[in-house]
């Protein structure tokens, strides 16, 4: 594995850029797999029958992907404190970040074999890819206070998301050209067969891109706190003890405690909506033809990504001028309004409108949330434990959100009913954020 000979100083431009490039590396998964190509491919597999038999149950295909996603986050929620504790103990969190990058990227390559005949194997690779991505992000996010000073963290966080949007759009455009013009790439077969094969190649391209560009980050990022302690039998529970310690330390810090409660509520809605948006567009919008659907969904995702670049940078400027918490409150209220509007949309044009507004606030809410938490945590070398707590909070919310979404979809037969439920979470999240900067009541 590549190692930099001389560690770069905290706050250096090169170090911050090296950290942010991991967003460039991993965001292709979120765009191509979570949002664009894979949802279209997945839906195309079930054009004749959208039911997946599982044990003695018949599960709707969109509900099944929701449940598998929720299960992957259950695993991530459990292993995050375990692995972050080990990483801090041996002083090498980069090693664990690398492991999950390789797990996730190779699982993306494995999605090439995702088919109806191998549906459970395909879902297993999807499951592993999710674990790889979100577990690597735990360690990646924990680097933010290590590589940037407090006055740099808003811009650094926004820069990471912006780079991720740019890089993922570039790969998606390449993938789109393969899907729309498979003959140009030597992909043969009928129009639909060639398009499906091109989508499989897209999954492989994600894995290669992810591994390739993450190497630059690995070269410059420090190992961690470098305590170089040996692992003992107690290390298995160390991460969970650290979570308990962090929780107790937060008990006297009303600001970070209130912030995490608000973050849990609105992040539950944010992450769930983002994970299911493409499936919603595929099933609930009245596309004229399958070709229009494919192009329309990908164009919508591209629109989201391009607008999100400006949204993340705009939110960073807003946070600097008006404060992080007021910025988060406004963005949450906009998100709630978007969900209300999304419940009523039927046409592709209306879906494009929603995509534009989603892009404007998607990156802003993510980047500002990460930077806000980074500012609230105490000055400590043990940043991984605090970001592990942040990650667990986020993942538990996603598990609840995806299970709730899948259950409503399975019971009512429509994702439209699921989307509108999350309006409440954005509104409550905004209300809870108004309490973050208030002084605690005296006993």
pLDDT in tens, 58-96: 888 888 888 898 899 899 888 877 776 666 666 677 888
Determine contact, residues 414/284, Cβ cutoff 8 Å. Answer: yes
Q: pLDDT tens across 288-313, in order? A: 887 788 888 888 888 887 787 788 78
| Tens digits of residue pLDDT in 208-264 | 999 999 999 999 988 765 555 555 556 656 667 777 777 777 777 788 889 999 999
Could you report the per-residue pLDDT of 138-180, keeping only the tens digit for each? Answer: 788 878 878 888 788 878 887 887 888 788 889 988 998 998 8
Q: How far apart, in whole angstroms, are the C-alpha atoms of residue 408 and residue 405?
A: 5
pLDDT higher than 50, residue 442: no
Give me the pLDDT at residue 394, please.
85
Confidence of residue 49 (pLDDT cuts 50, 70, 90): confident
Quote the pTM value: 0.77
Query: Residue 90: its pLDDT value, please?
Result: 63
Backbone angles phi, psi at 422, to 5 degrees: -75, -10
Average pLDDT over residues 108-137: 93
| Mean of the per-residue pLDDT values of the chain | 84
DSSP-derived 3-state class of residue 443 = coil
d(CA 138, CA 324): 21
Q: How far is CA 434 from the centre of its chain?
A: 25
Q: What is the CATH number of domain 13-226+234-433?
A: 1.20.1250.20
Inter-CA distances, 386 with 70, 225, 400, Å: 23, 14, 22
pLDDT at 40: 87
Neighbours of 276 (CB within 10 A): 27
Residue closest to 63 by CA, chosen among 412, 405, 418: 405
Average pLDDT over residues 349-376: 86
Q: How many helices (H) and strands (E) does the chain have?
A: 15, 2
pLDDT of residue 1: 46
Structure-derived torsion over alpha carbons of residues 156, 164, 221, 98, reported in degrees to the nearest 10: 150
- Residues with Cβ < 8 Å from 249, sequence gap 6 or more? 378
| Structure tokens that stand for 154 in this block | 């808003």
Q: Residue 101's closest CA among 55, 138, 56, 72?
A: 138
Provide, rounded to the nearest whole percent, the portion of the chain with pLDDT above 90: 30
Of 195, 200, 199, 201, nearest to 291 (Cα)?
Answer: 195
């Amino acid at each position: 594995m590549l190692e930099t000979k001389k560690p770069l100083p905290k706050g250096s431009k090169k170090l911050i850029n090296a950290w942010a490039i991991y967003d460039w590396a991993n965001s292709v998964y979120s765009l191509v797999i979570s949002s664009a190509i894979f949802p279209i491919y997945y839906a195309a597999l079930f054009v004749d029958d959208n039911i997946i038999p599982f044990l003695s149950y018949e599960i709707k295909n969109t509900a099944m992907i929701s449940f598998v996603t929720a299960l992957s986050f259950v695993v991530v929620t459990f292993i995050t404190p375990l692995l972050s504790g080990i990483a801090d103990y041996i002083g090498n969190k980069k090693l664990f970040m690398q492991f999950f990058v390789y797990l996730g990227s190779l699982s993306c390559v494995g999605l090439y074999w995702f088919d109806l005949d191998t549906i459970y194997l395909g879902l297993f690779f999807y499951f592993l890819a999710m674990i790889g991505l979100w577990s690597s992000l735990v360690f990646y996010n924990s680097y933010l206070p290590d590589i940037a000073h407090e006055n740099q963290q808003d811009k650094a966080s926004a820069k990471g998301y912006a780079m991720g949007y740019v890089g993922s759009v570039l790969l998606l455009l390449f993938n789109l050209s393969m899907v729309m013009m498979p003959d140009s790439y030597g992909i043969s077969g009928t129009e639909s067969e060639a398009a499906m094969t091109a989508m499989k190649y897209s999954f492989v391209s994600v894995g290669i891109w992810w591994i390739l560009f993450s190497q630059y980050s690995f070269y410059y990022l420090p190992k961690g706190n470098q305590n170089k302690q040996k692992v003992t039998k107690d290390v298995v529970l160390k991460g969970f003890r650290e979570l308990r310690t962090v929780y107790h330390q937060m008990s006297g810090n009303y600001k970070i405690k209130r912030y995490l409660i608000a973050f849990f509520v609105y992040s539950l809605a944010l992450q769930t909506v983002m994970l299911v948006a493409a499936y919603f567009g595929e099933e609930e919008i009245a596309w004229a033809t399958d070709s229009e659907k494919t192009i329309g969904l990908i164009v919508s995702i591209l629109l989201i990504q391009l607008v999100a670049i400006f949204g993340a940078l705009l939110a960073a400027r807003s946070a600097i001028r008006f404060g992080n918490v007021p910025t988060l409150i406004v963005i949450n209220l906009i998100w709630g309004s978007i969900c209300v509007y999304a419940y009523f949309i039927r046409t592709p044009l209306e879906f494009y409108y929603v995509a534009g507004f989603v892009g404007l606030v998607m990156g802003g809410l993510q980047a500002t949330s990460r930077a806000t938490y980074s500012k609230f945590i105490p000055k400590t070398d043990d940043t991984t434990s605090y970001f592990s707590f942040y990650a667990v909070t986020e993942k538990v919310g996603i598990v609840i959100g995806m299970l709730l979404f899948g259950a409503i979809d399975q019971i009512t037969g429509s994702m439209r009913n699921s989307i509108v439920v999350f309006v409440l979470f954005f509104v409550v999240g905004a209300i809870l954020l108004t309490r973050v900067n208030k002084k605690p009541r005296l006993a």
